[in-house]
Structures are given as structure tokens and as C-alpha cells.
């Protein structure tokens, strides 16, 4: 999930540039690979992670739940706002929470197949990755959008929603979040961690994809989430464990 306030970001790919110390371990695979994998298999970082810094217990939509709890409004005030045709932001948050819960619940089922899911990963200053999926198929950054009853067209530069005929930068946003996640995880894991962007829609009447769209996987419905579990051949089990250990630590993302 991107931050509800739009987070602008450059599309120049600058986030793909990795620091020298992060790529020091990216040389040709050789006889040392087995030793590195064995080291990652017994990971002390997970044993000493303070509970307050552990993102693993997050529920789907955790960031939205917190926001709704921190910014309550009296029921009467919300009723009057709606009566006057002013849609309070809490309504949008509630709808987005429904989408996060639907997709998050579907992704949680993939854990039986060797995958890990971390929900509501915070990236300073105010962005949030809705779901980070880590497993044999690599790392996937999943952004969810609740568009009940709308017809959606996903193009290379924007997502157009029939309700209000508005265009939203969802494609750009999820690409930017995936690049930032790749940078942070590569730097912390000290081996290259490619993070691929995924857009998931909930409640859409129809979702069509522009033939020009490249590099972004689209789930037309939360029921398509199990298809992600069929991906494989990217990360060895030991590296899956290492990436998960790093990604679940809240402090890892302070460098985002």
C-alpha cells in the first residue's frame, strides 16, 4: 500500500544504484557460495530481534488500523460530513483496509509452501508497503487497491478507474516502492535482492491490461494471489530465510 498522501518519486531508476559495500558479495557464483548459504542458515539476528522492532506479527492493513485508531472522529461528525457530500478520509481508509485484509489473507495461505509474508512495512517518511512476499520465487512488493464495482485499465504510466474517470499513479508508485525495497534489502543482506512489483485489485468489475505494460504483475482479484506461490527458482532456502530475517526488522527500513 502506498502512503495515502501521494509520495512522488523519480522514475530515473536512481534507487537501483547500489552502494559498493552492498554489491561486494555479488561476484560470480563459485565454491564459496555453499559457505555463505550455510552462514545465512543459522542467523543470530532473528534470535535477538526486539519485539517492538519485529514486523512479522503485523496483520493485513496494520498501518491503516493504527491510523484509524489514532485519528478517530465522532460518529455524528462523520455523518454530517457525508450528508454534506464531503467524504471524510476515514471512509477511504476503511475501504482500503478491506482490500488489504482480502489480499493479505490470501497471501498468508502461501506460507504453507515455503513463503513468508510481512504486512504493512513502513518506509520513511510516510510510505507503507502493503505486503512483502518472500519465498522461492524471490521478493514481491504487493500494493493493494480497493475499487469496488469499477472498471480498471492498467497502463504503462497510470491506472484509470471508471468511477470518476480518474487516473492514478499506482504503477509508478509500486515500481518506486519495489526499487526502494531492493536497495534496502540488498544493502542489508549483502547480496542482490531483486524486488518485483505487483498490483492487486479488490472488488473490480473488470480489469484490463495495456499491452505496453511491462515489469509489473497484476492480480485482477484477490483470488489470483495463489498464482504467486507457483513462482520459483529465484532464491535458495537459506537466502529466503536471510531476506525474511532482515525484512522483518523495522530498523532495516530506516535506510529506505
- pLDDT, greater one: 7 or 108: 108
- pLDDT, residue 249, reads 96
Whether the CB-CB separation of 139 and 184 falls below 8 Å is answered with no
Q: Is 61 domain-assigned?
A: yes
Closest of 106, 97, 86 to residue 224, by C-alpha: 106
Q: Is 1 domain-assigned?
A: no
* Residues 206, 152: Cα–Cα separation, whole Å: 6
Q: What is the dihedral of CA 234, 156, 227, 46, to 10 degrees?
A: 50
Q: Which own/partner contact pairs does 34-43 have at CB distance under 8 Å and 24+ positions apart?
A: 36/191, 37/236, 37/238, 37/239, 38/238, 40/238, 40/239, 40/241, 40/242, 41/237, 41/238, 41/241, 43/241, 43/242, 43/245
Domain that holds residue 216: 14-255
Residue 15 has pLDDT above 70, yes or no: no
Q: Is 40 domain-assigned?
A: yes
- pLDDT, residue 70, reads 66
Q: Is 2 domain-assigned?
A: no
| CB proximity list for 30: less than 8 A, separation 6 or greater | none
- pLDDT, residue 232, reads 94
Q: Are strands 116-123 and 127-135 parallel, antiparallel or unpaired?
A: antiparallel
Q: Which three cell numbers stand for residue 19?
A: 552502494
Report the pLDDT averaged over residues 197-203.
97
Q: Is 199 domain-assigned?
A: yes
3-state secondary structure 108-176: HHHHHHCCEEEEEEEECCCEEEEEEEEECCEEEEEEEEECCCCEEEECCCCEEECCCCEEECHHHHHHH
Q: Is 7 domain-assigned?
A: no
Mean pLDDT of all residues in the chain?
A: 81
- pLDDT, residue 43, reads 65
- pLDDT, residue 94, reads 75
Q: Which of 62-71, 153-162, 205-214, 236-245 has the lowest mean pLDDT?
A: 62-71
Taken in order 157, 162, 166, 172, is the CA torsion positive or negative? Answer: negative
Total structural domains within the chain: 1
Q: Is 9 domain-assigned?
A: no
Residue 160 has pLDDT above 50, yes or no: yes
Amino acid at each position: 500500500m502506498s502512503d495515502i498522501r501521494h509520495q512522488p518519486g523519480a522514475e530515473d531508476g536512481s534507487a537501483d544504484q547500489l552502494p559498493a559495500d552492498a554489491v561486494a558479495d555479488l561476484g560470480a557464483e563459485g565454491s564459496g557460495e555453499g559457505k555463505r548459504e550455510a552462514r545465512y542458515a543459522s542467523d543470530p539476528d532473528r534470535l535477538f530481534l526486539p519485539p517492538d522492532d519485529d514486523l512479522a506479527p503485523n496483520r493485513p492493513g496494520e498501518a491503516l488500523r493504527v491510523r484509524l485508531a489514532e485519528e478517530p472522529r465522532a460518529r455524528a461528525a462523520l455523518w454530517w460530513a457525508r450528508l454534506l457530500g464531503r467524504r471524510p478520509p476515514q471512509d477511504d481508509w476503511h475501504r482500503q483496509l478491506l482490500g488489504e485484509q482480502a489480499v493479505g489473507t490470501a497471501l498468508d495461505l502461501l506460507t504453507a509452501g515455503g513463503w513468508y509474508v510481512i504486512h504493512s512495512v513502513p518506509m520513511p517518511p510516510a510510505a507503507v508497503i502493503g505486503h512483502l512476499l518472500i519465498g522461492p520465487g524471490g521478493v514481491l512488493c504487493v500494493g493493494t487497491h480497493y475499487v469496488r464495482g469499477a472498471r480498471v485499465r492498467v497502463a504503462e504510466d497510470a491506472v484509470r478507474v471508471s468511477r470518476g474517470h480518474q487516473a492514478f499513479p499506482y504503477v509508478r508508485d509500486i515500481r518506486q516502492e519495489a526499487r526502494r525495497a531492493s536497495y534496502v534489502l540488498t544493502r542489508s543482506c549483502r547480496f542482490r535482492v531483486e524486488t518485483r512489483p505487483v498490483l492487486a485489485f479488490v472488488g473490480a468489475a473488470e480489469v484490463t491490461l495495456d499491452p505496453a505494460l511491462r515489469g509489473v504483475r497484476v492480480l485482477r482479484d484477490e483470488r489470483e494471489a495463489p498464482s504467486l506461490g507457483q513462482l520459483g527458482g529465484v532464491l535458495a532456502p537459506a537466502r529466503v530465510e536471510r531476506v525474511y530475517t532482515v525484512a522483518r526488522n523495522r530498523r532495516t527500513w530506516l535506510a529506505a
